[in-house]
Chains A and B, each alone.
Chain A
């Protein structure tokens, strides 16, 4: 699949940043892709078997290259704001797998203390900005986090805000991106265009051929790339980071991918009716992990044995975290009334 850039300068070739990666990076990337895949499989399995009895599991199968490719080139002091199909990003940016699992199981030691579910968590010390169910809102809030950096003279810290193609139809997405563009904030918006917003196909969300074309309205670079090709995501991200860090303002990256699962685990049956079977089969063949493994083998740096499928130690790491979460204590009921207000400033009666 080809990668296109809406506002490419004449004849300028994309730098192949991925060719500069060390062998150790390649292995780490490969393992992260598997972590994302196995994380998703483990939670679908836990839900199916009744080990996870509450809340939805939002699948990310097939979107692994986006999560790994957009986070791998970040600096430790950059920010991310992940959404519901980016759960592994929390781990890539410093949360423990145990913390993430406690969040999924609604446990007392979850980042939200059991108050909110799934991906609605963050940790400002790790540069992970909390998102809500209203995905477009995150783009607008991201502008504020970046404004704080501007006030602190830290204009080089980038924020990567994830969103879906459906959320690009919302007002806050527009207001946020418009604001960021007007004030040249180092915001990178990664649109995971997985073709469906719940059941609504992308052509009923976006009138243009690509989501990237929306960037034209903000006078910023817009990329439409193959989201299942790690190297394409990585290279684009590196280019976008250079652009944003240099003070040139925001970048929109549309990662074209496909939602292989239902909207969430509860939707698996109906999702077979609103998506054509041929379409699903086509995208199953575009598996980003298979493709990356083929790429790694083609470099001649690896043997087949060095690139195991479903690495067992990763599976075990995830399983240990699930077992930890299940045995971890539930929140005390009365804590439901805690953290509604913060009175530590002492200016209220």
Chain B
């Protein structure tokens, strides 16, 4: 085992996949000579050269499109969005070009690409460096969506995403990059976390908390606080948002009968709505309370600290919602 930061886990996964498979290449802004805005690709340019670590012009459309075209010709491109917010520039490439490609090629041309980048708030990044747009791609057929919360998952999921034959949008919460440390397996173990598998990060009896990304850490902190009050939370880290691991969610719901869904994106039309609907469709008779959601307010992520704090969900929000559910 190696004790590494969340960022280092991603870096090692990319490095080891580049070493393993010559078809893997990286493309993005400032990722080569500079090593990336957050340093995720430091040292890659020197090791793998300019053809496999491509410094692109500021062209999110082209960055993703190059991965798509190269994938059609047998390569596995990993596109870095300097901030995942900028994927809006490349939206058509993800949704209409990459997402549909296998379908419109009669199943003959898979598009194994990863579009990765730092997401999320809590760092004063303001409107265009704080967003969580996973719901856009959650809604898109043909695309998978991943967001890890711990180094080992980031490591194993990145490897799985690169080896997957479909377009994957990979959210790396920048709040976790250097704050979260943990063990990851050694390179020779070839550790993979299969896409579509959730992980229960804390077992509990009273309330199922379904969450992902940075909110997993908030939920775990809330669970610790509530334990003293005699409220026991089961925290499910989805890890992969699409495909959704409903089996793990439903098993937990049948045990606790109460559900709290926590996500960092604006509440309306978010991933939580779909999870809630599916639980209602598939396990209604097991529920003892309404399904609750803690999410961001339906606003942008503002800059000033009191504003950002007001908009984004907090540990307190989770604690209050859980108390309410427990008392229901």
Residues of A within 8 A of B (CB): 110-113, 115-116, 120-124, 129-130, 132-134, 137, 140-151, 171-172, 175-176, 178-179, 182-183, 338-345, 347-349
* Chain B residues closer than 8 Å to A151, beta-carbon distance: 22-23, 25, 51-52, 70, 75
Partner of A349, one of B73, B102, B165, B194: B194
Known: A151-B25, A340-B142. Is A144-B70 also a contact (CB below 8 A)? Answer: yes
Across the A-B interface, how many residue pairs have beta carbons closer than 8 Å? 174
Partner of A140, one of B66, B72, B109, B112: B66
In the bound assembly, the distance between CA atoms of A344 and B110 in angstroms comes to 10
Interface contact B52-A129, CB-CB below 8 Å:
no
Of all A-B residue pairs in the complex, the 10 with the closest CB atoms, nearest first, are A144-B69, A140-B65, A148-B73, A339-B107, A342-B110, A342-B165, A144-B66, A349-B196, A175-B62, A116-B104
In the bound assembly, the distance between CA atoms of A129 and B112 in angstroms comes to 16
In the bound assembly, the distance between CA atoms of A184 and B66 in angstroms comes to 14
- Interface flags for B60-78 (1: CB within 8 Å of A; 0: not) read 0110011111111111010
Partner of A129, one of B56, B67, B72, B144: B72
Query: Which one of B52, B66, B109 has the greatest number of beta carbons of chain A within 10 Å?
Result: B66
Interface contact B65-A143, CB-CB below 8 Å:
yes
Q: In this assembly, does B188 line the interface, its C-beta being within 8 Å of a C-beta of chain A?
A: no
Interface contact B112-A345, CB-CB below 8 Å:
yes
Partner of A130, one of B52, B105, B163: B105
A229: shortest Cβ distance to chain B, in Å? Answer: 31
Q: In this assembly, does B97 line the interface, its C-beta being within 8 Å of a C-beta of chain A?
A: yes
Residue of B nearest to A145 (CB): B69
In the bound assembly, the distance between CA atoms of A1 and B89 in angstroms comes to 41
Residue of A nearest to B166 (CB): A341
Q: In this assembly, does B273 line the interface, its C-beta being within 8 Å of a C-beta of chain A?
A: no
Partner of B69, one of A110, A141, A175: A141
Known: A124-B73, A339-B107, A342-B107. Is A140-B165 also a contact (CB below 8 A)? Answer: no
Size category of the B interface is 35 or more
A144: shortest Cβ distance to chain B, in Å? Answer: 2
Known: A110-B106, A144-B77. Is A345-B165 also a contact (CB below 8 A)? Answer: yes
* Chain A residues closer than 8 Å to B107, beta-carbon distance: 113, 338-339, 342
* Chain B residues closer than 8 Å to A172, beta-carbon distance: 61-62, 65, 92-93
In the bound assembly, the distance between CA atoms of A110 and B104 in angstroms comes to 10
Considering the complex, which residues of chain B in the window 109-149 have a beta carbon less than 8 Å from any beta carbon of chain A?
A: 109-110, 112, 141-142, 144
* Chain A residues closer than 8 Å to B42, beta-carbon distance: none
Partner of B163, one of A171, A183, A347: A347
Residue of B nearest to A129 (CB): B72
Q: In this assembly, does B160 line the interface, its C-beta being within 8 Å of a C-beta of chain A?
A: yes
A96: shortest Cβ distance to chain B, in Å? Answer: 15
